[in-house]
Amino acid sequence: MSSTSKQFSARIDALRGDLVTQGALVREMVELSFDSIFARDLEVARKVLVSDDEVDRIDLKVEQDAVNILCDVSRATDGLGADRLRELLVCVKVNNELERIADAAGAVAERVIELADRTTPFPESTRVITNSVIGIVRDAIGAFAGFDAERAKVVLRSEDAVIKFSEKIFRSSEQRVADGRMEPDVAFHLHHIVHQCELVADHCTNIAEQVIYAATGVVVRHGGSGWVELDTPKPKLDGA
């Protein structure tokens, strides 16, 4: 590898490092926002919203750094191998997914603040789904940090469980409203929170797909029978 290629590779590695740091911040936001659901802790919820501003700042920085690398690569004479360019493209996509996960955590925190002093308990299955999603976020970010395709596949297999939990919560809350154990507006907020859980899980599976692509070059997509691997043409790049 030429000295120029080594410099570009070092810049991509630094970009991945920034995203791993971003991932840790986003994971903390998810954990805090979910904890605030059950503690009804408004200060913690407000802390999540402040963190969202920092995620947005890093998001813009990563995006610009990636564009700068691509621009510089296009002007270079020896270029990078296909694997390194694939990693760079994955970094851009993962950056977007992390920003959206942070948005979901912020949306949960906003609902907690709106609930304020409402103390009606949520169904116990709510705790199950939030803990499950926290685990999925950890696995997705961990898979990205090490470009670990096997750990990414664990994330893919976990999304269906979140959907099943959400359906159970929706049915339970409807029954509680019907028999007077839960106010309709509390159920409305709960449905919104659970929907954000589903969104976080979905964004994590998007990260997992990108990790598998970066690590193996294989594209995976969700179909009617589960996750499938697609045949993709091999790029022909100098230095690949």
Q: pLDDT tens-digit profile of 171-202?
A: 888 988 999 888 888 888 899 999 999 999 99
Instruction: Give per-residue pLDDT as tens, 8-57.
Output: 889 889 998 999 999 999 999 999 999 998 888 899 999 999 998 888 88
Q: Where is pLDDT greater, at 4 or 233? A: 4
Give the predicted TM-score (pTM) of the model.
0.83
Determine the pLDDT at residue 1.
59
Determine the pLDDT at residue 239.
45
Domains and CATH numbers, the chain: 3-230 (1.20.58.220)
Rounded Cα distance, 21 and 233, in Å: 33
Would you say residue 82 has pLDDT above 60? yes
